[in-house]
Amino acid sequence: MGHVFVLVLLIGGDNAGGSPMYFASVKTCNWYASQVVKRYGNHSTAIPKEHRATAYCKPKYLDKTKVTVYDH
């Protein structure tokens, strides 16, 4: 058992779903959070609500032997 950080991704205000990603370091988790919300393309800066993305890291206490925990 131990503390990890889970990456939470919301798209259009809803949880994006999929398998959770757990990180040993909040610094690493925050880096991934910053990367998954970046947008590239040839469009205006006004992103429709249903496509807006928010990502953050949430601490969680769990059995680290039962999940994959990314170290870097």
Q: Give pLDDT tens digits for 9-56.
A: 999 988 888 999 999 999 999 999 999 998 877 666 678 888 889 999
Would you state the pLDDT for residue 48? 86
The domain spans of the chain are: 8-61
Instruction: Give me the amino acid identity at 29.
Output: C
Distance separating alpha carbons of residues 45 and 16, to the nearest angstrom = 22
Q: Tell me the whole-structure pTM to 2 decimals.
A: 0.85
Would you state the pLDDT for residue 65? 94
- 3-class SS at 50? helix
Would you state the pLDDT for residue 44? 65
Would you state the pLDDT for residue 72? 73
CB 29, CB 23: distance < 8 Å: yes
